[in-house]
Structures are given as structure tokens and as C-alpha cells.
Amino acid sequence: MIDNLPGDRPAGHWSRRRLLAVGGTGLAGALWLAGGPLTTASAETGFDALRERSRTLHLGPPFDASAEPYRTALETLISTATRYAADFAPRPGALWPDLDYVDPDPDTDQESYGYSARVSSSYTRLLTLAEAYVRPDTAMTGDAAVLDRVLTGLDQLEAEVYGADRPRFGNWWDFQIGSPQRLGSTAALIFDHLTDDQRTRYAAAIERFVPDSAVADYTGTSTGANRVDLCRAILGGALLTGNAARMAVARDALSPVFPYVTTGDGYYADGSFIQHTTVPYIGGYGSALIDGLGWAFSLLTGSEWEVTDPNRELFLDTIDLATAPFIMNGLMMDHVSGRGISRSGSGEFGRGTPVLGAIAVIAKGVDAERAARWRSMIKGWLVRNDVRPPLADPRQSLVRLSNLKAIMDDATVKPAAEPVEHRVFGSMDRVTHRRPGWAAGISMASRRIAYYEVGNGENLRGWHTGSGWLQWWTDATIGQFSDAFWPTVDPYRLAGTTTSLKPLPNGAGGDWGAARPDSVWVGGCTDGEFGAAGQDLRGLQSTLRARKSWFSIDEGIVCLGAGIGSTDGHEVDSMIENRQVADDAAGLVVDGTPLALTDGAPARLRRPHWAHLEGHAGYLFPAPVRVTALDQRRTGRWRDINNGGPTDAITRRYVALYVDHGVDPDAAGYAYVILPGATAERTEELAAPEQRGRLTITANTAAVQGIEVDHLGLTAANFWEPAGVGALAASGPASVLVRRDDDRTALICVSDPTRSGTGLTITWDHPVASVISKPDTVTKITTGDRLVIEFAPLTDQAGGTQQIQVRLS
């Protein structure tokens, strides 16, 4: 029955896709769907079998409804469906009182976007009701009144707004992806209760709004994750009427997604993923792409429309190459999540868990070694996630819970530790640095990559997330960005950034990643464990210029800034830190003395040597620098940064350290080292005079920035122009890192972040006996008293690291 079940859930939650799996070249002979193997026998090729498979993909395998985590998740589903059923009140233009969808002035303005979104939301609610109706052993199973609501709703939407003779309005996404996918899933669940006429009309509606031409050309809104979603919509409609031609169109239209790209949307060879042409997006559209491809592969395997393109193996490689590097302890890093960071119901863990569930299913259809590695990876993420444990989260789908719980319950699967690595994603201006117990990410912008993404009224104040934002986590502070961080943090003062305090309007620079700086020197190099990164910073709608470098080493990150100048008429700040802390947390300790701060009042520190924020990090100041400290409680609302967000006021406390360069600085700079997770004792120890030779800043100018770290045998420099520093010299712009090993070998790592069309010569003033290995980009090497490496133009290397191994004399 549909009466007297408590509870509610936000509209649209159960629109999340339920299950993924992958099949094809290089995979096991049998592809596993939700709970067991699906063979590729010829008997599985009919449309009836594919429709049943579609249901299985949505509902998952049988489970014990009385056992957790299923019991709570099922109760949540039924309580949500109960409310939808109780509130169902169809009238012309609406199925529910709060979801009127007929646009009185249909066009593509913001008001029309709202109406089209309510079309998708109406289908979402009908899908929830359909799932509650067909799931066994619930209070709504087989309830004729529930089925009647679903059928009534589908017919009314088709007649009034989503029919073959209806016009499109508002957001294209609602008509080509959101609504047709939900319609297809709903129809698959209750297929036997639909008449032939209903199936024909619903399929015609999908074909009207998602015609073959929508996937004819790989361009515009038909690329990357959007292309996969369009194909999924086509498949859902084709299943309704057994349209073999449309099945083939969808299958074939997936192929352009697989190859790595060199421009625009999609996966890149270095692990980058771009959507909307200029936005790093593995945490949003990348997740949707994984989900959609897995669904399509699972649906079609063994049928005459099975995806046989050999390039789909490239998709499997992206799990390790492009997805896993941005997951830590189950969260998906904000700096690759576009405008999604401004959504109140999402967050890093909210975006991470669906990806874990997707990989869990994909792992059922790959080779044993890769499957074992992925399951261990997932179990490690699950075990360490004590902020929002997926198996205790009733918002997760029942299929996802089933797959993740199976891994947790498998004693043969050992949790993998987080990797120790450094990655440079030159094609999307992102860097990750992973160390035992902590991780960091650097977010930059260039001619190729946007400062930030704003669109659909979302992420209105993300202006400076590409201005050198340094995002970092420790095992103890893994939830740093998951507790209303974005509506309460000062958007002008993100850690790691250098910004002008010139006021910016909401959405400054334009929608969909339109705002990009005229900068080409953005990127870095790595030996795989440590790395150098740099950004020729140009301020958003500002005259601000700066040369910024990060050298990621064993215990922390060395941050250098030089050539900082502006004529905006406003203060310019370089943010050392801006950390959200608990109201009762200890504040800063500076040079061993607790710092007494008044809420909201900046305090200038007197040439500090070190500072420490309890439970978070230590900070070293190896050169004199004017540091300001700030402890303040900030109040904001999600609505401030997202037009669809809640209006409730939220207050959080932040402790900040920054360098105030003053108004209109000229040739200003900074130098500091951040030590994530370090104790106060360790910070003080590293700041002691006898430790200062451990790290040497060899240069910090607008021409070159560099360091030497003796105990690591590491020398690194970012050359903004032809220059020399210490034992290193470059004939042009370059990022260089040299790592000496105890076995008398050395690895020289070089990149050209500018991708210039000229050659490059790197000189290392150190005796070298011979060359062990080199890439094809090297045209000449001279050894002896010093090493001279000549490179051909590195334009086609996409900022990638060139590694030369040598034997020392």
C-alpha cells in the first residue's frame, strides 16, 4: 500500500544510474552483471532478453532486505516513493504541485531552463515509483495504485510536453539526456504493463528529441560523456519497439569516444579528461562517461549489437590512468569536478562513491590481475573512508551497495594503500602529489584550460580555482572540503593562489569555461615520485601577473612566487593557507608561541621562521617574508554560489596565513614550505638552523625558480626564459628535475610547458660517463665534464616529461 510510510528525499536522487559493467576485447569470456555471470550465448540476442537485462542493470541481484545496508536503503526508497505517490496530483501542466513543467514562453532563457528541469524531475519521480512497484517484498510491490500513477504520468508527459509533436525548450540536456534516459528506464521496468501504442509513442518521443543526427557528428554537445549519454537514451528508446537500426546507430556512435584525443573533449594520453572543451572534469562528466559506457557494454554484450571496437580497451586503461589518481580514501578531488563543487548535495565523497561502485562492476569483466588490483584499491578506499562510509549511506543505490559490500566481505581482497607518486596532467593543467598519509593537487589555467567553470547558475564564485589553488588532504583531515567549504570559504583567498582583491561579479568571464588566461607556460615535470610545476599567472579580469612554482618533495611542497605585479588599485595576496577548522580547535603556533587572534582581525607576523596549525600542517619560511594571520568565522549560503542551492545560512571557522603584497605591487615575491600532517615538533626541527642546508632555494626570480634537496639527491628548476641556476641551465622555457641515485646513476626529467616550436638545450654541470636511455625527442647528447642534452621541438609532447637516464663519472 502507499499510505503512512514516513520520510522524504530530495527530488531527483533516484535518477542516479544503477550499475556498470564492461565487456569486449581483452576481457574475460563471460561478462558479469549485477550478481552473476552473463554468458555470451546466442540465445541472449533477442530484444526480450535485452529488456530483461536492462531491468537487471537497474535493479541488481536479489538480496536479503532485512540485512544492512540494504534494509535502510530500501526503506529510504520506499519512503521516498510513498511521498511521491501521496503527492501525485495530475492537472494540466503538472503531475505534482511543485513541478509545473509547461513553459508559457518557451525559449532557452533561465526561466525555460527551470521548466525543462521539472520535466526531467517528473520522469525521475515516475522512475522511483516504478522501481518501488517492481522490487519484491516491499509495501509497494505490485500495488495497482502505484502502477496507475506511473502510467498516468507517462501518458500525460507524452501528451503535453515530451511527445513526438512537442517543441523543445530550455536546457537541451533535459530533452536529450535527462528525460529520455529516465523514460527509457521506467518503461523497461514496467514494459509488460505498457500497450503497444504506449511503447510506440514513447519511442517516437525519444527519437524526436534524440534523432540519429544527434550522434552523427562528434562535435558540440555530442562529445565525451554527453555522447555516451545520448547513445544510452537512443538505446532505451530502441528497446521499447525493437528498433534494430537505432540499436546499431547507438552502438556505432560510441566508437569516437574511445581513442585518446589531443584537443577538445575526451581522454588524453597523459590521463587528462576534458569536457566543455576547456574544463578538467574526471570528477563529473568523466564519472558519467564511465557509468554510461559500462551500462552500454553490459547491455549489448553477446547480442548482435555488441561493441566490438578494439579501442574500448583504451577505456579500461583510463581507470588507472585517469580516474584513480584523483581518488583518495574514497573522495573524488574537487579540482577536477568543474561546477559540481557548488552543489550542496554532492561533495567530494558524494562524487567518489559512484565511481567506486562503477569500478567494482567493471572489475568483474576484466583479466584477473587487473580485477584484483582494482578490488584492493576499492577496499582500501572504503576502509579509510570514515567521513561518509558508503555502506552506511542510505542515499546509495541498492546495486552499488551490493557490489561494494561484496568487496568488503571478501577476505581474500586486501586493502591497498594509497599510492606514492607524482603525476603531471599537462593536457588539463593539473598536478597530483601522493605521499604516505597525505595527498595534494594543484589547479592551474592557461590558453588551453579555463580558470573555472560556471554554467546553469552554478559555481558563480569559482573565479580563482585555477589560479594556483593548492588543495591537500591528510588521513586525519580527509573531510576538509566536504563540510560546506564552498559556500563559506573566502573565494578570493584559496590556499596556494595569488589573487587581486579586485571585486568580481558572479560568473565573471562567462559560462562553460569561457574565461582563459593568455598564458602558455603552465605545467611541469616529474620522475614519478617528486615533481616541479609552474604557472605563468595572469589574473582573471585583472592586470595581475605572477610567476609561481611548486616543488613537491618527500615531506611537503616548496612554494615560490616572483615577479608579482598589478595595477588594479587593489591589494594582492598570496595565500599560504586557508584551512577550515573546528570552532573549538587550537589556533596557530608561530615560532613556538601560540598566536592570540581576534575573530576577523588580521595580524602581521614579525619575520616568522615557522608556524603550525594543530591537526593540519606545519609551515616553514626559509626566506624573510611578510606573513599575515587571520582567524575568522565566515557565514554563507549555497545559494550564494549556486542559483539552485539552499538558502540556509551556514557558518564555519577558517584559519589563514597569507602574504599581503600591498596595493599594486611591483616585482613582489614569496617563499614558503607547506608540510601536510607534520607535528609542531617536526616543523620546529626542520626550521632549526642546522637543518637549513637540507633544502636550498637556488633562485626565485621572474627568470628562474629552483631548489636543491641534498638528502634526496634532487635539483629542480623552472626556467621562464633562457637562464642558468646552480648546475643547471636552459636555452629556453623549461621545467627540469634531476634526481641522483646511490648507484651512481641519475635521471634527468625535462618538459617544455609552453609547447614551443623551437628546440631546447639543457645543460647540467656534472660529470657524466655515459647515457643509459633517452627518448626519441633527444637529437644529441654530449657527456664528459658536463652533460648537454639537445631536444627537437617538443610541441607534440603535450607538455609531457622527457626522461634521460645517465651513468655518472
Peptide bond into 69 cis (omega under 30): yes
Q: Report the distance separating Cα 434 and Cα 282, nearest Å.
A: 18
Retrieve residue 99's grid coordinates: 513541478
510: left (phi over 0), alpha (psi -120 to 50) or beta: left
Task: Residue 195: count other Cβ atoms within 10 Å of its Cβ.
Answer: 9
> How far does Cα 154 stand from its chain's mean position?
34
Retrieve residue 340's grid coordinates: 559540481
Is 162 one of the catalytic residues?
no
Is 281 one of the catalytic residues?
no
Retrieve residue 262's grid coordinates: 589531443
Which residue bears the cell 634521460? Answer: 804
Catalytic residue among 276, 433, 609, 661: 276
Angle at 705 between CA 534 and CA 782, to 5 degrees: 95
The b/e string for 438-464 (b: 16+ C-beta within 10 A; e otherwise) is bbbbbbbbbebbbbbbbbbbbbbbbbb
Q: Report the distance separating Cα 549 and Cα 572, nearest Å.
A: 17
Q: How many residues does the chain have?
A: 809
Task: Find residue 704's DSSP bridge partners.
Answer: 719
Q: Report the distance separating Cα 20 and Cα 305, nearest Å.
A: 17
Catalytic residue among 171, 226, 329, 578: 226
Decide if 364 contacts 321 (C-beta within 8 A). no
Residue spans of beta strands (DSSP E) within 498-544: 498-500, 522-526, 531-538
Decide if 23 contacts 365 (C-beta within 8 A). yes
8-state DSSP, 387: S
615: left (phi over 0), alpha (psi -120 to 50) or beta: left
For residue 292, which of 329, 258, 263 has the smallest C-alpha distance? 258
For residue 495, which of 617, 346, 626 has the smallest C-alpha distance? 617
Catalytic residue among 84, 123, 162, 285: 285
Q: What stretches of 363-397 show up as alpha helix (H) in DSSP?
A: 368-384
Q: Report the distance separating Cα 783 and Cα 726, nearest Å.
A: 18
Is 658 one of the catalytic residues?
no
Decide if 696 contacts 717 (C-beta within 8 A). no
Decide if 578 contacts 601 (C-beta within 8 A). no
Q: Report the distance separating Cα 47 and Cα 58, nearest Å.
A: 17
Own/partner contacts of 554-557, CB < 8 Å, gap of 24 or more, are 554/435, 554/530, 554/709, 554/712, 555/435, 555/675, 555/678, 555/682, 555/686, 556/618, 556/620, 556/673, 556/674, 556/675, 556/676, 556/678, 557/433, 557/440, 557/470, 557/472, 557/673, 557/674, 557/676
Q: How many CA atoms lie within 13 A of 311 on its CB side?
A: 10
| Sheet strand arrangement including 571-581 | 498-500, 571-581, 650-663, 627-636, 603-604
Active site residues: 226, 276, 285
